[in-house]
Structure 1
Amino acid sequence: MLCGTGAARAQTAAEGLRPAQLGIVINEDDPHSVEVGEFYRQSRQVPEQNVVRVRIPNHPRKLDAEQFNQLRDQINAKLGPQVEAVLMVWTAPYAVECNAITAAYTLGLDVGMCSQPCGPGKPSKYFNAAISRPYTQLGMRLSMLLPTESVEQAKALISRGMAGGFAMPTATAFYLTTSETARNSRASLFPPAGVVASRKLTIKRLSADSIENEKNIMVYQTGMARVDKLDTLQFLPGALADSLTSFGGDLLGSSQMSSLRWLEAGATASYGTVSEPCNYWQKFPHPVVLLRHYLAGATAIEAYWRSVAWPAQGVFIGEPLAAPYRQH
């Protein structure tokens, strides 16, 4: 059953992450981070005591282990036990050694992965878990980046996240098996085509390299180094979208399509890897797990984190509290 058990569904919907449980990390050396971070805090009414201000000069894309450890300790020292998740308000840094910064923060830095980035990752205890308080129960503070390259786009992203959830939309989830065979390693995990009537969601599985001129998109998952025709699409508030490719998490890189393009196209959250992961499906969002938890009322940060079995190399980006299927 796609939505899972009634008990898990009720727990997720009733106890999903709330603004008072979110910490916000602002980089005071980045004026965009300062402006967007305060806009987010006010928009979501996150308590001022949950805000941590740090200094990261020069917008580095990657931190070394020592720099990251200092940053992590500074963040954790200022957060109270009520904070279950953290939003880092900046685009860069997004990597720590070969790890993504969100994974390094939430799970701890896995330096061993850097000698074998194409090897298996360490399993996440939060994968597919019906746990409402990851820090209290597992000692894991979930984390996500809110990109700030454009203040206008960042504020629009926040507004989309907040708009999702006021009324359940009629929506479509697209799952594409593409011509790039190596990037289809999770295609067998796509949910079956059909309709989830209780959520007004139509699931479509296609053999295609892209979709065009589609509206009311809530989920778009594919496997392409570059995804075409994004400018023709209309995503719904709260939409999730990602591609199984090696360097989507290299947010400011150019070798493949950055995951930022999904947010610019109108999605509300996404995911990508910052170093060569090879095509283990476990290093990318599991389609059924992601959809099941999201439809059950989880926030974007909870659903995305629950969907990745080995997340060390993957960076989660977007508006963490978006929850279009939460029952208010």
Structure 2
Amino acid sequence: MWAGEAISLRTANKDGYNLQPENVAVIVNTDQPESVQAGEYYLKVRRVPIENLIKVSIPGSPKKLSAQYFAQLKQEIDAQLKPQHQAIVMMWTAPYAVECNSITSAMTMGFDPEQCANTCAPAKHPSRYFNSRSLKPFDEMGYRLSMLLPVQSFDEAKALIDRGFASDYSAPAATAYYLTTSDKNRSSRAMFFPPSGKVAQRYLEIKSLNTDSIRDVQDIMIYQTGLVKVPYLDTLHFFPGALADHLTSTGGDLLSNGQMSSLRWLEAGATASYGTVSEPCNYWQKFPNPAVLLKHYLLGASAIEAYWKSVAWPVQGVFIGEPLASPYKR
């Protein structure tokens, strides 16, 4: 399987991922001064045109929105979007859910009430973008890819934006870590972990390990695992542009005190992550497929493109991070 993926790195790169700053709409919450400040900083660093800034008011910054409230919010945002906008970045931590849906899936694919009848059921509306060859998702599929850029504070948001910008074209000598853990239920996607070896043309080493954790590792570009809580994050070093996530039920419930929040990955130095906002059960299709994520990232996709292409059933999953990070862009 991975030999075929390696061949595609040599051939499919001709397609040319090329998401540009003018293709990104930046949404800020005027009820959060830090959101506005972070949005303005993002425009400056990424040279996003000022007309791409969209202001909305979400008083109280609730974790979860009702379907009715979200419909009004989305209508307000849609009215200000332009045909060239292929992606959306929302500059806040909360809200991150719309009932049982994530706000990123609801913004991109529309709110899906059927999933909420049984959150453990398979998705009835899979993503047509999954592992596709699409380079312009809105033009070709009607999907504007969306991601939350968390704003716990302006300083944290600034550091995340700076990491994303620093990653562009960097292609460092790095390692992708894939951990099959003792938690069998949360290792449901281990069958998609690429075998250990080197991707020489991208200076990347792959390490697929049977262990619950890594520590004191200094060269991470990708870290994917399955645990309720991932230990030793404070001992790790992530390169700018690093992607990291853990398969567990509610990693996307970002401000919960239960299972480990996906925010912990960003706080540890990763640039983008993913987690589910409601109980998904352990369908691999509801989480990033490791082989698909790695393939598209190495082909030069941005973080938002690679992560969105890697999830077959993203209804319950929230994508977080700096969307334009592109360490393997050609």
- TM bin, normalised by shorter chain, reads over 0.9
1:140 and 2:161 matched: no
Letter in 2 for 1:110: D
Shift of 1:168: 1.9
- For each residue in 1:137-156, what CA deviation from the matched residue of structure 2 results, as whole angstroms up to 9, or x when unmatched? 10000000000012111101
Instruction: Map 1:51-130 to 2 at 5 A.
Output: 51-121=53-123, 122-130=125-133
Letter in 2 for 1:324: P
Q: Distance in 2 between matches of 1:240 and 1:183?
A: 18
Corresponding position of 2:207: 204
1:194 and 2:197 matched: yes
Shift of 1:7: 4.6
Corresponding position of 2:12: 8
Among 261, 279, 290, which residue is 1:276 paired with? 279
Structure 1 pair 7–71 and aligned structure 2 pair: CA distance change class (3 A) = farther
Corresponding position of 2:317: 314
- For each residue in 1:269-296, what CA deviation from the matched residue of structure 2 results, as whole angstroms up to 9, or x when unmatched? 0000000000000000000000000000
Q: Distance in 2 between matches of 1:164 and 1:143?
A: 20
Answer whether contact 2:26 2:91 (CA < 8 A) is retained.
Answer: yes
Letter in 2 for 1:54: V
TM-score by length of 2: 0.97
Shift of 1:6: 4.3
Answer whether contact 1:179 1:208 (CA < 8 A) is retained.
Answer: yes
- For each residue in 1:217-271, what CA deviation from the matched residue of structure 2 results, as whole angstroms up to 9, or x when unmatched? 0000000000000000000000000000000000000110000000000000000
Answer whether contact 1:146 1:318 (CA < 8 A) is retained.
Answer: yes
TM-score by length of 1: 0.98
**RMSD, matched Cα:** 0.9
The alignment of Structure 1 onto Structure 2 pairs a total of residues equal to 325
Q: Distance in 2 between matches of 1:7 and 1:63?
A: 43
1:131 and 2:131 matched: no
Q: Distance in 2 between matches of 1:133 and 1:320?
A: 15
Report runs of 4+ in structure 1 exceeding 3 Å deviation: none
Answer whether contact 1:26 1:89 (CA < 8 A) is retained.
Answer: yes
Shift of 1:166: 3.9
Answer whether contact 2:17 2:329 (CA < 8 A) is retained.
Answer: no
Corresponding position of 1:256: 259
Unaligned runs of 5+ in 1: none
Q: Distance in 2 between matches of 1:166 and 1:307?
A: 21
Answer whether contact 2:225 2:246 (CA < 8 A) is retained.
Answer: yes
Unaligned runs of 5+ in 2: none
Letter in 1 for 2:304: I
